[in-house]
């Protein structure tokens, strides 16, 4: 490691640890007013619900009265998460098995939701993963691209187009502070060449794309009296972070946020529904800058380019089924 590399690492941790870790969360919460969460009568759908922040969102919503469709790939993990709830909350949680890296599996989930005819009042696009090595889906995509972005676009657009959202619906998109490292760029979304693939760059690019989609969906929901929000949770202590960033997890482990602390702003947004929505990036109950580094200000593609990219890939995948 060079002196320059070491300086960058120390600068990174020195800048972001006080705010993204539990230190920042506990410091800010002393200034917050009490938020009453009553989601009685609401139907929620939460992706990535079998652990970490997703399970914490399910717990927070169900304990506050919501009926929750918890979506993930592992039936066993969903059952374990549900078993950790109070009996009253657990009775309001329904598990749905879906491989969120598969366009076909998401299409099946959408079909089952259409068959149910149940309206979704709050959609929490929570699922997100970071892989350090390239993995491909059976449909020919880089796996995390589908999980983090393409599949969320498919699910959300499918719900809107099918009229499956309730009155004054809410969409909450769980991004990451990692998005601050890259500009908007379609060329980084679906890298299928192992020599060019970088997991952290891919993940950051997907999360940057979520900002664009949140703006798109907010415009679509406005006539319905709804909102779309995008947020990042800070640094949380989850199994996904431990697997993807083991050194970071080891260094920061003692001061990483709990999953419930990472879920706080997502639940707060659902309860309070502030006016700043769309591309406004929320963190710890406040709007934060869309950029923190100069090199990300100049987008490498337009919003329209990014949406067209997703539409094209989704159409190709559906046509091949």
Q: Report pLDDT for 259.
A: 97
Q: Tens digit of pLDDT for each residue in 50-60?
A: 999 999 999 99
Helices then strands, each counted (H, E), the chain:
13, 8
Complete domains list, the chain, with CATH: 43-89+101-319 (3.40.50.720)
Tell me how far CA of residue 192 lies from CA of 100, 145, 202, in angstroms: 18, 10, 11
Strands of the sheet containing 286-288, edge to edge, are 93-97, 67-72, 43-47, 120-125, 165-174, 227-231, 281-283, 286-288
CB 173 within 8 A of CB 125: yes
**What letter does residue 235 receive in the DSSP assignment?**
S
Q: Report pLDDT for 103.
A: 98
Phi, psi of 285 (to 5 degrees): 65, 25
Instruction: Please give the sequence-ordered ranges of beta strands (E in DSSP) within the chain, or none if there are none.
Output: 43-47, 67-72, 93-97, 120-125, 165-174, 227-231, 281-283, 286-288
Q: Report pLDDT for 8.
A: 60
Q: What is the largest CA-CA distance in the chain?
A: 60
Per-residue pLDDT of the chain (321 residues; tens, 9 = 90+): 576 665 666 676 778 899 999 999 999 999 998 888 999 999 999 999 999 999 999 999 999 999 999 999 999 999 999 999 999 999 999 999 999 999 999 999 999 999 998 899 999 999 999 999 999 999 999 999 999 999 999 999 999 999 999 999 999 999 999 999 999 999 999 999 999 999 999 999 999 999 999 999 999 999 999 999 999 999 999 999 999 999 999 989 999 999 999 999 999 999 999 999 999 999 999 999 999 999 999 999 999 999 999 999 999 998 887
CB 177 within 8 A of CB 213: no
Which of 229, 214, 142 has its CA nearest to residue 184?
Answer: 214
> Is 87 exposed, middle or buried (CB count within 10 Å of its CB: 0-12, 13-18, 19+)?
exposed
Q: Could you count the other beta carbons within 10 Å of the beta carbon of residue 40?
A: 9
Q: Report pLDDT for 72.
A: 98
Q: Tens digit of pLDDT for each residue in 255-284?
A: 999 999 999 999 999 999 999 999 999 999
**What letter does residue 150 receive in the DSSP assignment?**
I
Q: Report pLDDT for 9.
A: 62
Three-state DSSP class for 94? strand
> Is 119 exposed, middle or buried (CB count within 10 Å of its CB: 0-12, 13-18, 19+)?
middle
Q: Report pLDDT for 163.
A: 96
| Residues involved in catalysis | 203
Which of 215, 216, 226, 236 has its CA nearest to residue 290?
Answer: 215
Instruction: Give residues with Cβ within 8 angstroms of 279, minimum separation 6.
Output: 211, 212, 214, 215, 218, 230, 290
Q: Report pLDDT for 1.
A: 57
* Distance in angstroms (rounded) separating the CA atoms of residues 70 and 53: 12
Q: Do the strands 165-174 and 227-231 form a parallel or antiparallel pair, or are they unpaired?
A: parallel
Q: Report pLDDT for 320.
A: 82
């Amino acid at each position: 490691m060079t002196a320059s590399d070491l300086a960058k690492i120390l600068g990174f941790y020195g800048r972001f640890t006080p705010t993204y870790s539990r230190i920042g969360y506990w410091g800010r919460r002393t200034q917050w007013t009490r938020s009453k969460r009553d989601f009685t009568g609401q139907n929620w759908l939460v992706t990535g619900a079998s652990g970490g922040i997703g399970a914490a969102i399910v717990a927070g919503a169900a304990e506050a009265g919501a009926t929750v469709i918890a979506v993930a790939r592992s039936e066993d993990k969903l059952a374990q998460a549900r078993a950790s709830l109070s009996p009253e909350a657990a009775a309001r949680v329904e598990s749905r098995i879906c491989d969120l890296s598969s366009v076909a599996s998401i299409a099946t989930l959408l079909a089952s939701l259409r068959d149910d005819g149940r309206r979704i009042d709050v959609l929490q696009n929570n699922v997100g993963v970071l892989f350090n090595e390239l993995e491909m889906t059976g449909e020919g995509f880089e796996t995390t691209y589908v999980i983090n972005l393409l599949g969320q676009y498919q699910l959300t657009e499918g719900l809107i187009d099918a009229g499956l959202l309730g009155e004054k619906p809410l969409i909450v998109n769980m991004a990451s502070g990692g998005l601050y490292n890259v500009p908007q760029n379609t060329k980084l979304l679906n890298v299928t060449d192992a020599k060019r693939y970088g997991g952290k760059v891919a993940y950051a690019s997907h999360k940057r794309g979520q900002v664009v989609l949140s703006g798109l969906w907010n415009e679509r929901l406005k006539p319905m009296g709804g909102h779309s929000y995008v947020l990042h949770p800070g640094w949380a202590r989850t199994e996904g972070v431990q697997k993807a960033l083991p050194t970071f997890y080891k260094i920061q482990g003692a001061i990483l946020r709990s999953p419930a602390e990472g879920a706080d702003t997502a639940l707060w947004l659902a309860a309070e529904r502030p006016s700043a929505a769309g591309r406004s990036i929320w963190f710890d109950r406040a709007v934060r800058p869309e950029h923190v580094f100069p090199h990300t200000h100049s987008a490498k593609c337009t919003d329209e380019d990014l949406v067209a990219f997703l539409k094209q890939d989704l159409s190709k995948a559906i046509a091949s089924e």
